[in-house]
Amino acid sequence: MKVVSIGGGLGAVQVMQGMQRHTSSLTGIIAVTDTGRSTGIVREFAQIPAPGDIRNALATLALDDDSLLTRVMQHRIAAPDDPKLDGMAFGNLFIAALTQMSGSFITAIGQISEFLDVQANIYPVTEENAHICAELVDGTIVEQEFNVRQLDKAAIKRIFVQNPDATAYGPCLDALREADLITIGPGSLFTTVIACLAFKEITQAIRDSGAVKVYICNTTTQPGQTDGYTLSDHVRQVISYLGIGVLNYVVLNSSEPSAELMELYARERVNVLLPTPHEVHNILTMNVTPVKADVADTKSGKRALWQKQDTIRHSPELIANTLMELMGERQAVLK
């Protein structure tokens, strides 16, 4: 079974981690338009696509996830007197150095994948040094990812690629057309998921593919991107890029975290999303089948992340089990 997961270095990789038990043919199409934190600093001096999510994908999927090289890839440099280096992920510098040495971002990714013995194809959605922009509902245009996800601005209306001539990486399109299962998300709706779907060749390849297409919806809202959003709002945005009738399923987490955990997130304007009958009905009207399943990791508690807001992540094992059930049902129907 050929599986392609679209998203970032966390959400798509969680899906791939779980699916590793079921197939050896895995491809991750990873967003590379981030500009914040250490990724943005590296992009500025090296003029490369964003390495951060690619780095995290490679390190997470390494055959030995506790090897010295894997750990140093994820290590953040402590340099309190140097704001540019302090908190810098060493793996981002490593990718930049290999890109300069080889002259190719793609070659650098391949070399690190080989070093770490990653048993999956990790592709950037584009090999160009591209940026995303957002048109807000008040007509304002906001440029680059860090600004797109800023708090306390007007709601996001749409995402587009800053350079209209930037194209998707060719092998991503081949993988999508040949896939048996395509998963979209979870991850930051606009700056990760739609940052990939904003490349028109990607959405066209998804439409052309005979694969089962599944959107894995986020478990919570995200300040600056989806404030006030419902589950059906998330689905509606994805469909606005793919078109009606392209998605087969949307997976909705039905596992409710503790009241204490929900309160901790709510203090940071992160609201848990659960599938009510009204939301399920709304999604059905979009010609996509909602699937309620306990797929969230609600036991780990709230994590302190470096310059990043935490959310309730999906369990790789639980999401993979749900996807395999959907594939089994789909095959039974086709027979």
> How many residues can be counted in the chain?
335
The answer to whether 150 touches 118, Cβ cutoff 8 Å, is: no
Domain that holds residue 77: 34-119
Same domain, 162 and 189: yes
The percentage of the chain sitting over the pLDDT mark of 70, rounded to a whole number, equals: 96
Model-wide pTM > 0.85: yes
Same domain, 29 and 46: no
Could you give the CA distance from residue 32 to residue 126 in angstroms, rounded to a whole number?
A: 7
Helix axes 90-102, 52-60, angle to 10 degrees: 100
Residue 213 CA, chain-centre distance (Å), reads: 15
Reported as a pLDDT band with limits 50, 70 and 90, residue 306 is very low
The answer to whether 55 touches 91, Cβ cutoff 8 Å, is: yes
Same domain, 64 and 28: no
Reported as a pLDDT band with limits 50, 70 and 90, residue 300 is low
Same domain, 319 and 288: yes
Q: Please measure the distance between the N-terminal and C-terminal CA atoms of the chain and give it in whole angstroms.
A: 17
Could you give the CA distance from residue 43 to residue 174 in angstroms, rounded to a whole number?
A: 27
Q: pLDDT at position 329, please?
A: 83
Same domain, 21 and 46: no
Please say if the pLDDT value at position 310 is more than 90: no
* Angle subtended at Cα 175 by Cα 208 and Cα 62, rounded to the nearest 5 degrees: 150
Q: pLDDT at position 320, please?
A: 98
Reported as a pLDDT band with limits 50, 70 and 90, residue 113 is very high
30-41: average pLDDT: 92
The enclosing H or E element of 114 equals: helix 105-116
Domain termination site, one of 63, 86, 119: 119
Please say if the pLDDT value at position 192 is more than 70: yes
What one-character-per-residue DSSP string does 125-185 give? S-SS---EEEEETTS-EEESHHHHT-SSSPPEEEEEESSTT----HHHHHHHHH-SEEEE-
Domain termination site, one of 119, 140, 160: 119
Same domain, 147 and 250: yes
29-41: average pLDDT: 93
136-149: average pLDDT: 96
Reported as a pLDDT band with limits 50, 70 and 90, residue 335 is low
Q: pLDDT at position 241, please?
A: 98
Same domain, 130 and 273: yes
Domain termination site, one of 119, 137, 157: 119
The number of domains in the chain is 2
The answer to whether 136 touches 156, Cβ cutoff 8 Å, is: yes
88-113: average pLDDT: 97
Same domain, 77 and 181: no
266-280: average pLDDT: 93
Which tokens sit at 113? 């994948």
What one-character-per-residue DSSP string does 191-234 give? IIIHHHHTSHHHHHHHHH--SEEEEE--SB--TTTSTT--HHHH
Q: pLDDT at position 261, please?
A: 82
Q: pLDDT at position 61, please?
A: 96
36-55: average pLDDT: 94
Please say if the pLDDT value at position 304 is more than 70: no
300-327: average pLDDT: 78
pLDDT in tens, 215-247: 999 999 999 999 999 999 999 999 999 999 999
Same domain, 94 and 151: no
Same domain, 29 and 48: no
258-269: average pLDDT: 84
Question: What average pLDDT does the chain have?
Answer: 93
* Angle subtended at Cα 323 by Cα 322 and Cα 324, rounded to the nearest 5 degrees: 90
Could you give the CA distance from residue 172 to residue 214 in angstroms, rounded to a whole number?
A: 17
Same domain, 155 and 178: yes
